[in-house]
């Protein structure tokens, strides 16, 4: 973990106090120093990679903007993308390709093997490389002007609350906020701290408790059957959501304390009525990134039907591959792409049938069925996302469809985990209309402080303090 809990509780308040004590002109340098220290706490050497990405895109973007020759601008953009992708490829994907090349050589009877690089995967590398690439592409598209202040741009790339697991911010949103003079606003700070509290609860209470059953089942795919695998798969869906949304809420809350608003990354994803709707609600900063910089760049919906289908598959497969250098992630992305296209095909048929029988889209039974169907697809696809390898995934799927309703779990653990999932779904329904933090803040003083104290007591009593990393740190 970048920081353990105690370290963070010392680090963050110190940064906040210094931030509001220092004159405005020094605050960028304080946050930049804090961001670099935050990342170096894990491994000091890997700060070099962030600096390389920062300097590359800072100078290339400036030259792209001033250049009037299209060829030069294209070469500069390609250079920027290649540098960032080369860094990402070397540390994240090189051994995956070497493994598959060696597998191919073995099939052809060649016993000579390519040695593995065995490089340590830097935390958050997929996030900050995408963030800095989007900046250069936006400058190339004349969507924004290049940033002149190199310290400010370096902070945009490395801003510590969202450095290691997002949200993946855009320059047009984040850069202007970094130079804005912030004052002490106790209402804003209170909101940020409450959001951080909710994020910690999601992580150490919900996600880390669900992890117990999930880890046991997915590590022993042939030891469980039927309903046990279904339950573990559902638990993983909620585990990864609470783990990632928990980090996001901590990040957004911490930034909010400093007066900086980060984009929302989740919007009740398990109330989605289709895969298309799911990706408008899940990891929004990433899905919008792929939409703007992959899907649209390849032609979007401006091409023939055949090319559009290919573009959809490319976008979803690349999205899956972004998450990890394993075939299981590629399959996960492919499943989402296939279901997305299937929904497009069935949309006209369903619309015709509902019109024929005078059934509206707001019909509660139909709406519930669509939510349940979408959730089932998401949970099924997550088996490939979570499984250690393809063989484990197939064993889990095979055994899942074996009729066995026996649950081989401790009843107390099962009950606690089920209640925690119920809390998530209650919050999902509340947040359809209002932000959960604001919703509680508007309640009577006795009600809201009772909720705060209960959350704190649950964190202390049920929290898993084994300091397990956030799942998305590995991406």
Give the separation between CA 147 and CA 90, rounded to whole angstroms. 28
How many CA atoms does the CB half-sphere of 346 hold within 13 Å? 10
The DSSP secondary structure of 349-361, one letter per residue, reads HHHHHHHHTT--T
How many whole angstroms separate alpha carbon 74 and alpha carbon 82? 12
Which residues make Cβ contacts (< 8 Å) with residue 243, sequence separation at least 6?
202, 203, 207, 208, 470, 471, 472
| CA distances (Å), origin 255, targets 7, 105, 250, 258, 419 | 18, 50, 8, 5, 30
> Which is catalytic among the residues 24, 323, 336, 428?
323
Query: Could you give the CA distance from residue 335 to residue 91 in angstroms, rounded to a whole number?
Result: 26
Cα–Cα distance, 163 to 155 (Å, whole number) = 10
Which residues, at least 6 apart from 72, have a Cβ–Cβ distance to it below 8 Å?
63
* Residues in Cβ contact with 339 at an 8 Å cutoff, skipping those fewer than 6 apart: 275, 377
φ and ψ of 122, to 5 deg: -65, 135
DSSP state of 84: H
Count, in order, helices (H) and strands (E) of the chain.
Answer: 20, 0
Cα separation, 133 vs 123, in Å, equals 17
Residue 323 designated active-site: yes
What is the DSSP code string of 368-388? Answer: HHHHHHHHHHHHHHHHHHHSS
Q: What's the rounded Cα separation, in Å, for the pair 260 and 100?
A: 44
Contact 260, 177 (CB under 8 A): yes
* Contacts for 35 with CB less than 8 Å, ≥ 6 apart: 155, 158, 159, 160, 163
The residues that are catalytic are: 323
């Amino acid at each position: 973990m970048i920081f353990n809990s105690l370290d963070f509780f010392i680090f963050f308040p110190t940064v906040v106090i210094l931030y509001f004590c220092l004159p405005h002109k020094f605050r960028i340098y304080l946050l930049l120093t804090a961001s670099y220290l935050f990342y170096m706490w894990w491994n000091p050497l890997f700060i070099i990679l962030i600096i390389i990405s920062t300097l590359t895109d800072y100078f290339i973007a400036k030259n792209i903007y001033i250049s009037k020759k299209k060829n030069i601008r294209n070469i500069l953009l390609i250079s920027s993308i290649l540098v960032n992708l080369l860094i990402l490829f070397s540390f994240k994907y090189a051994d995956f390709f070497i493994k598959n090349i060696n597998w191919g050589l073995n099939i052809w009877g060649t016993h000579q093997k390519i040695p593995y690089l065995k490089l340590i995967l830097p935390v958050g590398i997929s996030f900050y490389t995408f963030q800095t690439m989007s900046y250069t592409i936006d400058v190339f598209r004349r969507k924004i002007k290049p940033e002149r202040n190199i310290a400010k741009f370096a902070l945009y790339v490395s801003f510590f609350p969202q450095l290691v697991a997002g949200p993946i911010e855009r320059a047009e949103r984040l850069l202007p906020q970094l130079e804005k003079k912030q004052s002490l606003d106790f209402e804003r700070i209170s909101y940020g701290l409450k959001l951080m509290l909710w994020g910690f609860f999601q992580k150490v209470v919900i996600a880390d408790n669900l992890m117990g059953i999930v880890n046991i089942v997915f590590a022993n795919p042939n030891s469980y059957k039927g309903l046990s695998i279904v339950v573990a798969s559902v638990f993983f869906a909620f585990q990864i959501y609470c783990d990632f949304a928990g980090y996001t809420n901590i990040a957004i809350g911490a930034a909010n304390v400093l007066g900086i608003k980060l984009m929302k990354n989740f919007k009740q994803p398990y109330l989605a009525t289709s895969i298309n709707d799911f990706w408008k609600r899940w990891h929004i900063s990433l899905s919008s990134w792929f939409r703007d910089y992959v899907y649209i760049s390849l032609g979007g919906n401006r091409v023939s039907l055949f090319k559009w289908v290919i573009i959809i598959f490319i976008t979803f497969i690349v999205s899956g591959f972004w998450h990890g250098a394993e075939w299981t992630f590629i399959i996960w992305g492919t499943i989402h792409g296939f279901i997305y296209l299937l929904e497009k095909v069935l949309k006209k048929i369903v619309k015709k049938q509902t019109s024929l029988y005078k059934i509206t889209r707001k019909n509660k039974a139909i709406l519930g069925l669509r939510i349940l169907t979408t959730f089932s697809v998401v949970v099924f696809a997550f088996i490939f996302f979570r499984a250690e390898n393809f063989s484990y995934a197939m064993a889990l799927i095979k055994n899942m469809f074996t009729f066995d309703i026996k649950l081989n779990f401790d009843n107390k653990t099962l009950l606690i985990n089920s209640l925690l999932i119920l809390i998530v779904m209650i919050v999902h329904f509340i947040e359809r209309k209002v932000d959960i933090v604001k919703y509680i803040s508007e309640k009577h003083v006795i009600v809201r402080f009772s909720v705060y104290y209960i959350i704190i007591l649950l964190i202390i009593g049920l929290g898993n303090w084994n300091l397990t990393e956030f799942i998305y740190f590995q991406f």
